Amino acid sequence: MPGYAVIATHSTAQAAPEQGAASAVVQLLDEAGAPQGPPVVLFRDQVAGFVRDLEARRPRWVWARTADWYPRLLAAGCTVERACDLALSRTILRHATAAADTAYTAGLRADGDDREDIDPAVGLPPARVPENQDALFAEPADEKTSVEAVAAEFLEQRRAVPATAAGRRLQLLLAAESAGALVAAEMRHHGIPWRPDVHEALLAAELGPRTAPGTRPARLEELAAELRAALGAPQLNPDSPQELLRALHRVGVDAKSTGQWELREYSHPALEVLQRYKKLSRLHTANGWAWLETWVHGGRFRPEYVVGGVVTGRWASRGGGALEVPHTIPRAVRPAGGNVLVVADAAQLEPRILAALGRDTALADAARGQDLYQGIADLGFGGDRAHAKIAMLGAMYGSTTGEAGRLMPQLTRTFPAAIGVLERAARTGEAGGVVGTWLGRCSPAASRRWHAGQRATSPREQRRADGGARARGRFTRNFVVQGTAAEWALCWLAEIRLRLRAAKAAGRDDGELVFFLHDEVMLHVPAEAAERVSVMVQEAAERAAVLMFGRIPVQFPVGVVTVRSYADAK
C-alpha cells in the first residue's frame, strides 16, 4: 500500500495538449519514501479517475502547489483526504529554527536576506502572497516540477524535520498548513451562498438606482453636492484626496490625510458629510454592482483565499475581498434550498492562546467561560471589564503607553507567566532576533540592512534605530500569539473537514465548509443537520486544542449559531 502519491506535470503536457499529450505523471512511494513501481503516465481525462481510484488506498498526495492540482480535481468531482503542499512547507521550513540543518534548509535560508521589498524599519518583508496561488486552471509555471524533482524535494523536507518534540510540533504545522490549502480550495469550489437580488436591493436602498459605469449613484451625488456646499468648493471632486485636503485646509481643518482616525481630531460640519460620503463610496467601489457581476455567479461568491498570506500564518484573500465584506452586505449571504448557515467563532481566542503559551494558571482560571475579559477583570481589575480588555489588548499588540501602559503593571502582577511570554518576545525582536509560535512557525530574521541601521552614529540615527527596534518588538510580541492562534484555527478547520468527510462516507449529509476568517467558520448545511453539525464544530475545537497543547486547563469555547442570513450571526 502506498504511503505517498507524488503527482507532477508530464514533461510533454505543455507541448501539445490539444493533441492529447500526456498531462500528468504519478510516482507512488512507500512510507519510507522508496518508489513503488514505475511512474504512471496519465492523459488529461484520466487524472481525476486515477486519483479517485487511488484514494481508496488513502495515500498522502504530494504536489508542488495545491492550487495547481486540486481545483481541477474538484471540478471533476474528485476530492482527496490528505496532501502535502511543498510550496507552503518550504516557506515554513525556510525560517523554522526547529528544522534540522541540512543542505536543503541552508539553501532556503540563503534566499534573499536583503530583498528590495524589505521594510528597513522592522527588517521584514511585506505580507506574503505565495506565488502562483492564483493559477487555478493553469499548469505550474515552475520548470522544476518534474515528478523526480517534486519527489526529491518532498524527501528533503522530510529529512529537515527532526525526530524531537519540537520536530513533531513542526510536522503537525506542516500537515495543518497543507490541510488548510485543501480547505481553501474546497471553500472556493463550494462558494458562499449569495442572493444577488438581496444584494441589489441593498445597493438600491443605500445608493439609489444603478447608474452607468463611471457615474456616481444618486445618493453619492447628493452627498457630493452637500460636501461641496459645506466646504465652499463648488468644483470639488470628493474622490480626489489632494483636492479634498486643499478644501479642508481652506476651512481650517489642517489634517495631513483624509483618514478617519486623523479627521476625528477636528470639528467641522463638513466632516460628518464626508464620512457618510466615504462610507457609501466604499460600498459602491468595493461591493457595488460591478463587484456583484464579477464575483457572484450561480448564486455563489467564490473568493480566492491565500493560505499563509500573512507572515504570522493568517490567511489573506485576493480579488473578491472575502475578509473585508462590509456590515451591510452580509444580509445577502443566505442559504440555498432547505439549508441553513451554521456560524461559529472562537471566543477571545488570542488571550486564551496566551494562557496556553505561558502555562499561566491564573489566566487559565480567568478563561473559564465565555467572557475571558470579565474573568481578567474579576481577578486583577476590581471587576472593571473595560480596563481589563484595554490592558490585555495593549499587552498583546504593543500598546504600552497611555491607558494601556498605566494598566500594564497590574496585568503583569496578576498574570506574570503570560505577560512574560510577550515581554521576552518583544525583547528578542528589538534585538533583531527570531521568535516562534507553539508549533514552530518563526518570524523572519531581521535583515542585514536593519542591523546596519541599528549601529547609529548620530542622535538622529539613534532615534530612527530606537524606533525600528520598538516596531520590530511590537511585531514579535504579537507574532507568537497571533501565529499560534492561526495554528489552532488550522487544526480546527482540518478537524471539521475530516468529520464532514467521515459523515459523507457514512452516507450522511452534514453540509460543507464555505467560509473562514481568522477564528470564525461558516458551514452551509441541511436544516435537519444543524444541531448535529453545531455539536461537531464545538467538538472539533476541543480536539484542536488537545492536538496542539495536550490536556491543559485552558478552555477554548466556541459560540455557534444557526441562521438564515449571515447578518443574523453578528
CATH number at 495 reads 3.30.70.370
The pLDDT of residue 123 is above 80: no
- What are phi and psi for residue 154, nearest 5 degrees? -60, -45
Between 134 and 394, the higher pLDDT residue: 394
Same domain, 477 and 533: no
Same domain, 260 and 323: no
Point out the domain boundary residue: 172, 190, 208.
190
Dist CA 511 CA 519 (whole Å) = 20
Cell digits of residue 527: 436544516
Q: Which residues of 371-384 are buried (b: 16+ CB within 10 A; e: fewer)?
A: bbbbbbbbbbbeeb
Residue 108 resides in a domain: yes
For residue 13, the model assigns a pLDDT of 43
Dist CA 308 CA 65 (whole Å) = 13
The pLDDT of residue 544 is above 50: yes
Point out the domain boundary residue: 461, 481, 501.
481
Q: Which of 115-129, 181-195, 503-517 has the lowest mean pLDDT?
A: 115-129
Element (H, E) at 29: strand 22-29
Between 77 and 20, the higher pLDDT residue: 77
- How many other C-beta atoms lie within 10 A of the C-beta of residue 355? 27
161, 440 Cβ separation under 8 angstroms: no
Same domain, 268 and 410: no
Confidence class for position 400, pLDDT limits 50, 70, 90: confident
- Smallest CA-to-CA distance from 468 within 180, 123, 154 is with 123
**Which pLDDT tens digit goes with each residue over 442-466?**
999 888 888 888 887 788 888 888 8
Cell digits of residue 456: 547609529
The amino acid present at 378, given as its one-letter code, is D
Query: How would DSSP label each residue in 313-382?
Result: S--EEESS-GGG--TTGGGG----TTEEEEEEEETTHHHHHHHHHHT-HHHHHHTSSS-HHHHHHHHHST
Same domain, 141 and 90: yes
Strands 300-301 and 296-297: antiparallel
Same domain, 474 and 496: no
Strands 60-63 and 83-85: parallel
- Smallest CA-to-CA distance from 381 within 370, 395, 399 is with 395
Q: Which domain does 265 fall in, by range? A: 197-293
Point out the domain boundary residue: 190, 225, 248.
190
Average the pLDDT over 460-479 and give the result.
88
**Which pLDDT tens digit goes with each residue over 346-358?**
989 999 999 999 9
For residue 276, the model assigns a pLDDT of 94
The pLDDT of residue 306 is above 90: yes
Confidence class for position 56, pLDDT limits 50, 70, 90: very high
Sequence-distant (6+) residues with CB within 8 A of 231 are: 247, 248, 250, 251, 270
Strands 192-193 and 22-29: unpaired
Same domain, 252 and 368: no
The amino acid present at 169, given as its one-letter code, is R
pTM for the structure as a whole: 0.89
Confidence class for position 30, pLDDT limits 50, 70, 90: very high
Cell digits of residue 45: 481525462
Residue 182 resides in a domain: yes
Same domain, 140 and 207: no
Residue 437 resides in a domain: yes
Instruction: Give the mean pLDDT of the chain.
Output: 89
Residue 160, helix vs strand vs coil: coil
Same domain, 418 and 562: no
The amino acid present at 214, given as its one-letter code, is G
For residue 119, the model assigns a pLDDT of 52
Residue 80 resides in a domain: yes
Same domain, 365 and 447: yes
Same domain, 344 and 360: no
Residue 42 CA neighbour count, 13 Å, CB half: 19
- Smallest CA-to-CA distance from 91 within 170, 182, 6 is with 170
The pLDDT of residue 112 is above 60: no
Residue 8 resides in a domain: yes
Average the pLDDT over 34-59 and give the result.
94
Cell digits of residue 65: 502547489
For residue 87, the model assigns a pLDDT of 96
Dist CA 523 CA 345 (whole Å) = 12
The pLDDT of residue 467 is above 90: no
Same domain, 383 and 251: no
For residue 120, the model assigns a pLDDT of 47
Sequence-distant (6+) residues with CB within 8 A of 185 are: 66, 67, 70, 71, 74
Same domain, 30 and 166: yes
Q: Which of 133-142, 298-307, 395-404 has the lowest mean pLDDT?
A: 133-142
CATH number at residue 466: 1.10.150
The pLDDT of residue 478 is above 90: yes
Confidence class for position 213, pLDDT limits 50, 70, 90: confident
Average the pLDDT over 273-298 and give the result.
92
Between 377 and 323, the higher pLDDT residue: 377
Average the pLDDT over 378-391 and give the result.
92
The pLDDT of residue 114 is above 60: no
Average the pLDDT over 218-242 and give the result.
94
For residue 104, the model assigns a pLDDT of 95
Dist CA 109 CA 87 (whole Å) = 14
Q: Which of 128-142, 272-286, 393-407, 444-458 has the lowest mean pLDDT?
A: 128-142
Average the pLDDT over 494-513 and give the result.
96
Residue 298 resides in a domain: no
Average the pLDDT over 393-412 and give the result.
87
What single DSSP character describes residue 55? Answer: G
What CA dihedral angle connects 72, 74, 80 and 86, to 10 degrees? 40
Confidence class for position 384, pLDDT limits 50, 70, 90: very high
Confidence class for position 144, pLDDT limits 50, 70, 90: low
Dist CA 7 CA 61 (whole Å) = 7
Dist CA 470 CA 397 (whole Å) = 12
For every residue of 179-239, which 3-state class applies, written as one string? Answer: HHHHHHHHHHHHCEECCHHHHHHHHHHHHCCCCCCCCCCHHHHHHHHHHHHHHCCCCCCCC
The pLDDT of residue 151 is above 70: yes
Residue 320 resides in a domain: yes
Dist CA 538 CA 30 (whole Å) = 36
The pLDDT of residue 136 is above 50: no
Between 431 and 370, the higher pLDDT residue: 431
How far lies 441's CA from each of 9, 83, 323, 434, in Å? 30, 19, 23, 10
β-partners of residue 560 are: 344
The pLDDT of residue 10 is above 90: no
Dist CA 156 CA 148 (whole Å) = 12
Dist CA 273 CA 220 (whole Å) = 11
**Percent helix / strand / coil, the chain, rounded to 5:** 55, 10, 35
For residue 141, the model assigns a pLDDT of 39
Q: Which of 181-185, 253-257, 292-296, 438-442 has the lowest mean pLDDT?
A: 253-257
Number of separate domains in the chain: 4
The pLDDT of residue 19 is above 60: no
For residue 255, the model assigns a pLDDT of 86
Average the pLDDT over 269-278 and give the result.
93
